Amino acid sequence: MEFNANGKITFTDCLRTILYQSHGKAESETYAFYQHHCSFMFRAKANLFNFNPHYYKLHSAILNFECIYHNHLDIDVFDIVHKKAGDEVTILSRDQFLDWSRECYEHDGQWVNALSEPIGTAYVSLNFLEYLDDDSQYSLFNKSFVPNPFANRFALIHQLMKRKGYNFSAETTVKEFYRDIIKDLYPELSAHDRNLLWKFFRTHALLLTH
């Protein structure tokens, strides 16, 4: 695994995807409510928000996130501090995330580190999306909405694969996958990102055949 933000999705993107799967385009309104009230809404009762439906939707989404994360031990949460010299990545244990999760939820997916350090951002390993897709009646990759531009590549490529009925086998090479699928959408994509996409869909294909 590369110790940078590549191949990972932010916690807030996970949260917004969960909201979108449950509430469609109304997700943006609920997420706006979260951004305005996250600093205290997880400490306050619903009556302080006049029993606003967004309050319950957000608590439900957080529980959904935690349920998937804690029931699939191969999902990792990272604290990533972006620095000019390179990202500093810390993989959190379940206990560490439990200790830090309230701060993450109350700071829009970020952690405040020491005064001499930039603020850290919570990232989640991309396999979270696979489990979210499996556990939902909706398909993540059939939705046009994925807020993170990097993650959106996976959604669009998956859509194209489904439209073409593309068979990604264990023998499919990076070169073949680029020629058959990626090139149609991202002809200028770097070799590194082509390889990353190939690895993701190869893993996904292997999981489906076992």
Please say which residue of 128, 156, 187 terminates a domain.
128
Q: Are residues 31 and 118 in the same domain?
A: yes
Q: Are residues 12 and 64 in the same domain?
A: yes
Please say which residue of 128, 156, 180 terminates a domain.
128
- Residue 55, amino acid: Y
- Full residue range of the structural domain in which residue 101 is found: 8-128
Q: Which residues pair with 81 in a beta bridge?
A: 88
Question: What is the end-to-end Cα distance of the chain in Å, rounded?
Answer: 23
Q: Are residues 101 and 20 in the same domain?
A: yes
- pLDDT tens for the chain, 210 residues long, are 344 456 688 999 899 988 888 888 888 999 999 999 999 999 998 899 999 999 999 999 998 899 889 888 999 999 998 877 777 888 999 999 989 899 999 999 998 766 667 788 999 998 888 787 665 543 444 444 444 556 667 777 876 787 677 888 888 999 999 999 888 777 888 888 888 888 888 877 766 554
Q: Are residues 198 and 102 in the same domain?
A: no
pLDDT at 95: 92
Is the Cβ–Cβ distance between 146 and 13 less than 8 Å? Answer: yes
Place of tokens 């390889």: 195
Confirm whether 14 is domain-assigned. Answer: yes
Residue 129: CB atoms within 10 Å: 25
- Both structure tokens of 69: 């994360």
Q: Are residues 156 and 123 in the same domain?
A: no
- Both structure tokens of 96: 């560490």
Confirm whether 136 is domain-assigned. Answer: no
pTM of this prediction exceeds 0.85: no
pLDDT at 185: 73
| CA dist., res. 152 & res. 143, Å (int) | 10
Q: Are residues 167 and 196 in the same domain?
A: yes
Q: Are residues 108 and 22 in the same domain?
A: yes
Would the CA dihedral through 90, 83, 2, 142 be positive or negative? positive
- Residue 139, amino acid: S
pLDDT at 154: 74
Select from 32, 1, 31, 11 the least CA-distant residue to 100.
Answer: 11
Q: Are residues 108 and 182 in the same domain?
A: no
Q: Structural domain tally of the chain? A: 2
- Both structure tokens of 190: 């770097």
Q: Which residues pair with 92 in a beta bridge?
A: 77
Please say which residue of 87, 103, 128 terminates a domain.
128
pLDDT at 206: 65
Give the contacts of 97 (CB within 8 A, at least 6 positions apart).
69, 77, 104
Confirm whether 140 is domain-assigned. Answer: no
Size of the chain, expressed as the number of residues it contains = 210
Confirm whether 139 is domain-assigned. Answer: no
pLDDT at 195: 87
Q: What is the pLDDT of residues 86-110, one digit of tens each?
A: 778 889 999 999 898 999 999 999 9
Q: Are residues 67 and 169 in the same domain?
A: no
Q: What is the pLDDT of residues 55-88, one digit of tens each?
A: 999 999 998 899 889 888 999 999 998 877 777 8
Confirm whether 3 is domain-assigned. Answer: no
Q: Are residues 96 and 171 in the same domain?
A: no
pLDDT at 210: 47
The alpha-carbon radius of gyration of the chain (Å, integer) is 18
Q: Are residues 75 and 179 in the same domain?
A: no
